[in-house]
Amino acid sequence: MLNADSEFDGIWLATPEEVIAGEGGIPVIEETVEAAVERAIQLSRGLGDAMHLVFGVDPGPRPGLAWTADGVLVGVAQLESVESVANHIGGLANSLEHRNLVIKVGDGAPLIRDRIINDCLLHSMHVIEVIERRTSRGSRSRAHIHAATRIATMGGKRVHSIRQLEPTDGDLREIQRQSRIESGGRVTISSELAHDVAVGSISMADAIKRA
């Protein structure tokens, strides 16, 4: 059990069996640790029930993510794959009490941007595309996180429709380059497999295995 305060109204995490209804405990199991911690952070900042929960996404092979509750920055993360964005947002949103949920996606990296937008729309999320010029500031290692934080605070245009994914030759060459890096120089996937990776039909790991 982790106690943030010894008082009755403190914030604490415990197994579902240990949590007593109405005493502020947050039930947690191995699969829900991250969500439980986010809920504890929200409560510690006095955000028990946020009106607006906003996620900013900086698109890229390792997307940056930032989320605010009623304008207060709650958390940031750098994800390891494009495919994980919508599910990661959904898991965090379920752990943070809110009334309105908005996903703001920067307009850089067009192919990855559109994949993220499509995934979020398929999860019935309210999506806004943000023009992200001059958002990537700060140290290179945290540039995507800084950009995502700024994107979360900016306005943009709502997206209603699924987008057609049309990878360019440059997109395919970049994915082939990434396949060489991820395989330790052993494999360069074909342009056909690179296309499938580009539109999200298969993962890079699967494409390398098939090659």
Residue 141 CB neighbour total at 10 angstroms? 8
- pLDDT, residue 20, reads 62
Spatial CA neighbour of 66 closest among 139, 135, 163, 162: 135
82 residue type, one letter? V
Q: How far apart are CA 125 and CA 105, in angstroms?
A: 12
- What's the pLDDT score for residue 21? 52
For residue range 24-35, list pLDDT tens digits in order.
577 776 666 776
- What torsion do the CA atoms of 65, 97, 104, 133 make, to the nearest 10 degrees? -60
For residue 163, which of 202, 77, 105, 89 has the smallest C-alpha distance?
105
Neighbours of 197 (CB within 10 A): 25
Residues 102, 121: Cα–Cα separation, whole Å: 11
Question: What's the pLDDT score for residue 11?
Answer: 73
At 28 the pLDDT is 73
Going along the chain from its start, the domains and CATH numbers come out as: 1-44 (no CATH), 48-164 (3.30.420.140), 167-211 (no CATH)
Residue with tokens 């497999």: 193
Quick check: 55 and 102 in contact, CB under 8 A? yes
109, two tokens: 């990296």
**Whether residue 204 has pLDDT greater than 70:** yes
What is the per-residue pLDDT across 144-198, written as a single tens digit (0 to 9) for each?
899 999 999 999 999 999 999 999 999 999 999 999 999 999 999 999 999 999 9
More confident residue, 90 or 34: 90
- Which amino acid, one-letter code, is at 185? G
Q: For residue range 105-153, what is the model confidence (pLDDT) as tens digits?
A: 999 889 999 999 999 999 999 999 999 775 555 545 578 899 999 999 9
Higher pLDDT, 1 or 139: 139
Instruction: Report the C-alpha gap between 166 and 148 in whole angstroms.
Output: 24
